Amino acid sequence: MIKAGIIGATGYAGAELVRILTTHPKAEIAAISSVSFEGKAISEIYPAFFGLNDMVCENAEGVVEKSDVVFAALPHGLSQELGAECIIQGKVFVDLGADFRLESEEEYAEWYGGKFLDKGLHEQAVYGLPELFRDEIKGKKLIANPGCYTTCSPLAIAPAVKGGFVEAKGIICDCKSGVTGAGRKPTQGNHFPELNEGFHAYKVASHRHTPEIEQTLSRLSGEKMTVTFVPHLLPVNRGILATVYADIKEGVSFDQIRQAYEEFYKDEYFVRLLPSGAAADIHNVRCSNFCDISLHFDKRANKLIACGAIDNMIKGAAGQAVQNMNIVFGLDEKTGLEFIPPAF
């Protein structure tokens, strides 16, 4: 059994890791930690775990020592030293935060206000979006686990970009997120009376996930890409819906694009390319590691409209992290992740 440790276990992503790994057939949770709730059982914080997982939160050092793989579900800026210690001790480190996602230190400084503490360590990190970079993930020790927007948007448009079917300029990622994406700590913005019966854009043209989306698409296309990314906050708990608009190149048909998507994702269990006429819906991926994609053609404007839907806490966080663990340890990627979304 793989011994897994979770640092930041009482946040939403950390709690999902606890839920998934508690029943994982090839892994067991060795230890969990929480700065805010050290000394308390996880079932005190989340009563849904009562009698199923009553592990007590300890300090981070103990988690690293007891584990083969360490998951860090922490805000940005807190994972670099932790990742370095895991590598020194020969542990696999899966970072659900942003510290290792960006390849450029200049972009990290610009968008996060930090710096690379150890450039050599960052060179060891691989970007953990399995459907796009699986071969790079295999056998690695330091995985930068993508977030929700940066999983859903690239998966929705990846085959079109990689195949050169759409123009590199003018791509728009119009995204909506459930409120769990803002984290567990209450703020004015996710306070129920402020959120309920409302719907608004936020951090318009300034969200930190912008350079990450561009980095992924640039790697796929082989040229520097710039996107317009606008996130919105939905009054729901879970889900990401990414609607990505791109101009189709002259001489390319929508049928060609559809065929390219079918070929690109034909062996990907967690990506479901929906039949023509259907539209991706966050309702249909809740509590699962699936990404549903629907393709649409605006004939009048000659635009591809690709819609992607994921559960932001699973495929956009904890589920993908476990998928990465499965790859690193040579397991079937689906192990412990074959959740069927609730029908209603």
Supply the DSSP symbol for 324.
H
Among candidate residues 323, 312, 211, 298, the one with its CA nearest the CA of residue 246: 298
Told to judge if 148 belongs to the known catalytic residues of this protein, a careful annotator would answer yes
Which of 86, 148, 152, 307 is catalytic? The answer is: 148
DSSP string computed for 108-171: HHHHHS---S-HHHHHH-EE--HHHHHHHHTT-SEEE---SHHHHHHHHHHHHHHTT-B-SS--
The pair phi, psi for residue 307, each rounded to 5°, is: -110, 130
| DSSP summary character for residue 277 | T
Q: What is the dihedral of CA 102, 107, 110, 113, to 10 degrees?
A: 40
DSSP 248: B
274 near 294, Cβ under 8 Å?
A: yes
Contacts of 178 (CB under 8 A, 6+ apart): 234, 236, 237, 238, 239, 240, 282, 312
Identify the bridge partners of residue 118 per DSSP, sorted by sequence position: none
Q: State the catalytic residues.
A: 148
